[in-house]
Amino acid sequence: MNEQDPKPGVVIDVTPDPVNDAADDSEESQQAGGDPVASAGRGSMLALVVSLIALLGVGAASVFGFRYWSDLANEMAAMDARVQAARSQQEQLQQSLTQATAALRAQENALGDQRNVLTQQRSAVDQARAAFEQQEQKLADENLRLQEREAELRAAVADVHRRVGRSGTQWMIAETEYLLRIANHRLILARDTDTARVALELADQRLRDTQDPGWAGVREQIARDIARLGSFQAPDSAGLAAQLAALIDEIPQLKIARATIGPERTLPERAAATPGERSWDTLLDDLWAGLKDTVRIRERDKPVQAMLAPEHQFFLYENLKLHLEAARLGLARGDQALFHDSLQVAMDWLGRYFETGDHTTATLRSAIEEMLSLDIHPALPDISQSLRALKIRQDLMDDIAPAGLESR
């Protein structure tokens, strides 16, 4: 139990005494020196005025608060609608970004495959180049041996002429046959038209030195073969190879076509708002201005190709160089198909991956178009008829007078 709780068995009477209270009130009113009725009337009037003023203030505050709340609710609803629209646009942009990322990954995979193919092609070209160099060295050695052999044979023929004299017609005929064979071999094996022409001219001189009119038909055939060789236009392989090397040196100057969506729109200049000017009305304008500064919208009426990353542009240039190097290899081998196909692929790449309006691109396309019309492996003229005519004449002479030939 607490100290304040009444003790059991004790009753406390707290009922006020009305007589004492009335006496106290009368004493207070008398001490105030006024009429109790008049004082009560003035107090009621004052309380009524204060109540009316308070009631008017509460009503005005309610009306003002209601209008303020209505305006604030309308602004919040409009702002919510604009935020929803901005969120929808952001989702669309996110979806476009996801699609672009997927396309970029696919492009990277394709470039990886192309890099592997390029490595294989480069290895094949290196192997072919090594084999070509070996073959070229072998041909040079063989040519040197043939020249040495030819010099030895010329010396032997000259020695025979000195021993036998001009009366040895059979030696002249044998030398003529040898020269005709040399002409055919140089033309067919090495496509050397100059050496073949000189051999034919020397063979004609040997037949002329016999002073035998019976060889006139063979000399006419030799003259026709010399005319065929004179009209034959061999391609300038060395000049074409030098031109291809110059085109390869111009490849780094090419400009890769940029895959854009169209010309950029010029954004109007936006004056920066001071901190004192910011409000709920300017919030959406600030959000829209920030979005326009982040996202650039361009227009294009053609399909768009993905741009190449800078690290992938190197392989594009190198692959184009390899195609032109393959064209040089086809030129050295006399392979018309390899030469034409490599140049055609290079022409397609210039039109697909590089700017067609660039001066360097136009120059390369013009040079490649001119090379595509060339025949680097034309058909050789047939000069075997001279040797065949000589053999026919020899067989005829052997049938008619074999003993006379043996005596000579």
Q: Which of 172, 170, 237, 167 is nearest to 202 (CA)?
A: 172
| Alpha helix stretches (DSSP H) within 234-309 | 237-250, 280-294
Per-residue pLDDT tens over the stretch 237-281: 788 888 888 888 888 888 887 644 444 444 445 555 455 555 666
pLDDT band at residue 295 using 50, 70 and 90 as cut-offs: low
Dist. CA 207–CA 222, nearest whole Å: 10
Dist. CA 362–CA 350, nearest whole Å: 9
The answer to whether the CB of 322 falls within 8 A of the CB of 122 is yes
**pLDDT exceeds 50 at position 372:** yes
pLDDT band at residue 106 using 50, 70 and 90 as cut-offs: very high
Number of Cβ atoms within 10 Å of the Cβ of 187: 25
Dihedral angle computed from the Cα positions of residues 69, 74, 75 and 80, in that order, rounded to the nearest 10 degrees: 120
- Of residues 233 and 142, the one with the higher pLDDT is 142
Dist. CA 321–CA 324, nearest whole Å: 5
Dist. CA 243–CA 339, nearest whole Å: 14
Look at residue 356 and give its three-state secondary structure.
coil
The answer to whether the CB of 180 falls within 8 A of the CB of 198 is no
Per-residue pLDDT tens over the stretch 11-44: 444 444 544 444 445 444 444 445 555 667 777 8
Comparing 102-111, 142-151, 270-279, 309-318, which segment has the lowest mean pLDDT?
Answer: 270-279
Beta-carbon contacts of 288 under 8 Å, excluding residues fewer than 6 positions away, are 86
Per-residue pLDDT tens over the stretch 53-69: 888 888 888 888 888 88
**pLDDT exceeds 60 at position 282:** yes
Look at residue 354 and give its three-state secondary structure.
strand
Full-model pTM: 0.39
Task: List own/partner pairs for 60-69 with CB under 8 A and 24 or more apart.
Answer: none
The CA radius of gyration of the chain, in Å to the nearest whole number, is 56
**pLDDT exceeds 60 at position 123:** yes
Residue 185: CA count within 13 A, CB half-sphere: 12
Phi, psi torsion values for 262, nearest 5 degrees: 135, 180
Number of Cβ atoms within 10 Å of the Cβ of 186: 21
Give residue 202's pLDDT: 92
Beta-carbon contacts of 207 under 8 Å, excluding residues fewer than 6 positions away, are 172, 173, 176, 215, 218, 219, 222
pLDDT band at residue 352 using 50, 70 and 90 as cut-offs: confident
Token digits for 378?
């034309």
pLDDT band at residue 400 using 50, 70 and 90 as cut-offs: low
Number of Cβ atoms within 10 Å of the Cβ of 65: 10
- Diameter over CA atoms, the chain: 194
pLDDT band at residue 294 using 50, 70 and 90 as cut-offs: low
Mean pLDDT calculated for residue range 352-367: 85
Dist. CA 145–CA 404, nearest whole Å: 37
What's the mean pLDDT when you consider all of the chain? 77
Alpha-carbon separation of residue 28 from 1, 42, 45, 280 (angstroms): 41, 18, 22, 62
Look at residue 256 and give its three-state secondary structure.
strand
Token digits for 33?
């020196």
Phi, psi torsion values for 111, nearest 5 degrees: -65, -35
Per-residue pLDDT tens over the stretch 149-202: 988 888 887 666 555 544 467 888 888 899 999 988 888 887 788 888 899 999
Token digits for 144?
């040197």
**Residue 210 region by backbone torsions, left for phi larger than 0, else alpha for psi between -120 and 50, else beta:** alpha
> Would you call 323 exposed, middle or buried from its count of C-beta atoms within 10 A (0-12, 13-18, 19+)?
buried
Q: Which of 383, 408, 382, 405 is nearest to 394 (CA)?
A: 405
